[in-house]
Each structure stands twice: as C-alpha cells, then as structure tokens.
Homo-oligomer: A and B are copies of this chain.
Amino acid sequence: MELTAAQILRKCSLFRGLDDLSLALVGELGRVVEFAKDRVIFRQGQECEALYCVGRGLVRVYKVAPSGKDHVLHMAQPGQTFAEVAVIGDLLCPANAEAVEDTVCVLLPADRFRRLLETNHRVCLQLVEGLALWTRHLVGLLEDVVLRDAVGRVAGYILRSAPHERPEAFTLPVLKKDVASHLNLTRETLSRTLRRLAEAGLIETVDAQQIRILDHAALRDVADGLPVGEFDEPR
C-alpha cells in the first residue's frame, strides 16, 4: 500500500486540528521518502534539512555520550514527528535518527517550511501548541529520570504506554533494550524491575513483548513513589 503525503500528514498529531486548506499547504511541501531498516536518517551535528513525519514504521531518535553510552530520546511511531525543533529554530540536529524498521516518512524541507510558518498564521499557531506538548513531554522525561527510581520509572512507563481502551494486556511497541535506554536504565535492570513488579502481583508478563496489567491502582501508586511491597520480609 502506498501512502501519500496528505494521508500521512492528516494523521500527524503535530498538525491535528489544522483545517483542510492549511493542511494542503503543508502537504504541498511534502516529499514521501522510504528508509530501509537500520538506515541512518541523520546524525547529530549535521545541518537539519527537513522536518520528518512518520507514516509507517518506527524511528529511533537518540543521542550518544562521549563515553559511548546512548540515550533514546524518542521512538517516533506513525503520526509522530521528529527534528521539529531543529527545523524551527534553524539549529543543527541535536541527535541521531535511524529507522528501526522499514519506514515511510514525509519530509518537509526546512527552508520552505519556515517560509510557510512566516506566512501562514494557522500553521504557526498549530506549531506553538505542538511544541508546548513536546516540551511538556520532555519535562516529564527529565523529571522521571531525576526524581524517580527504577521501579517508579518502569511503572510510569507501563501506565503511559498501555492503550487507553483495554489497558489490561498490551504489546510493547518497541524492543526492551530501547525502553531501557529511554528510561536511562540498563536492559538488566529493566528485566529485574519487571520481575519485581510481577512478583508483587502488579503485572504479568505474557511473553517477552507482552505485559498484562493486573493492578492498575497499585501500579499508579508505585509510579508515584510508594514502595512496591509484597516481597521478602519473612515475618
């Protein structure tokens, strides 16, 4: 199935709420590009040539430390964008991006998009809102890493990424190693933490990729900093 730029952009959360006319103006700039699995899309420090909107597939946006350690900032799924900030601020790419699966994106060239922003108030307004949300997400991530311990972060992640309807069982959309990196944990710690949550009866691991939530409220509590309980202490 082929995707057109318009179809992809219509589902893009950054442009949600945009009227058809403005959406068409944005679409005119768009060029649909495919990236094969493992293909590098851009590297940090490069000039950023476009804003990317994912139509199909999965993109890992990550930064690597001088030490070699890397940190996943964002796993961009269909409907999500990346490199917005670099494009808007006319900055260098702050991170690396690569396709985790075969991926289709709409590219909105930086200079033309910036020009559209300058002429079209609706698009501009929409973007302000989108950026505000993205910023809040970042602050959330930051506070997660800074203020919560491993169990809290994992519990919070599970709650956030469970689908809103039928939240009992869900399939992780990304590999655990990427989840771990996103939460600033090692794979090992993530694995052990999931086991602790399972042993405490809060979740159940169906298989490597599937998690069933057994006790939503308790999970909420753990995410809010309460200790896990339901273990050791052989009174």
How far apart sit A71 and B140, CA to CA, in the bound complex (Å)? 12
> Shortest beta-carbon distance, A93 to chain B, in Å?
11
Inter-subunit contact A63/B145 (CB<8 Å):
no
Residue-wise interface mask of A (145-180) relative to B, using a CB-CB cutoff of 8 A (1 in contact, 0 not): 111100000000000000000000000000000000
Stretch among A122-130, A194-202, A208-216 lining the B interface: A122-130
Residue of B whose beta carbon sits closest to that of A71 = B146
Inter-subunit contact A148/B65 (CB<8 Å):
yes
Inter-subunit contact A133/B65 (CB<8 Å):
no
Inter-subunit contact A135/B67 (CB<8 Å):
no
Most buried by B among A118, A131, A135, A147: A135
In the bound complex, residues from chain B placing their C-beta under 8 Å from that of A127 are 128
Inter-subunit contact B146/A88 (CB<8 Å):
no
A111 interfacial by beta-carbon distance below 8 Å? no
Chief secondary structure at chain A's binding surface: helix
Inter-subunit contact A94/B136 (CB<8 Å):
yes
Inter-subunit contact A124/B128 (CB<8 Å):
yes
In the bound complex, residues from chain B placing their C-beta under 8 Å from that of A146 are 71, 145, 184
How far apart sit A124 and B122, CA to CA, in the bound complex (Å)? 10
Q: Report if A91-B142 is in contact (Cβ < 8 Å); known contacts: A118-B125, A121-B124.
A: no
Residue of B whose beta carbon sits closest to that of A63 = B143
How far apart sit A225 and B70, CA to CA, in the bound complex (Å)? 13
Interchain CB contact (< 8 A) of A117 among B88, B128, B136:
B128
How far apart sit A37 and B131, CA to CA, in the bound complex (Å)? 32
A-B contact pairs, 14 of them (CB 8 A): A63-B143, A65-B225, A66-B224, A71-B147, A85-B135, A85-B139, A88-B131, A89-B129, A89-B132, A94-B139, A127-B128, A134-B135, A135-B138, A142-B142
In the bound complex, residues from chain B placing their C-beta under 8 Å from that of A132 are 85, 88-89, 91, 131
Scan residues 31-90 of chain A and give those whose CB is less than 8 A from a CB of chain B. 63-67, 69, 71, 73, 85, 88-89
How far apart sit A65 and B141, CA to CA, in the bound complex (Å)? 13
In the bound complex, residues from chain B placing their C-beta under 8 Å from that of A140 are 94
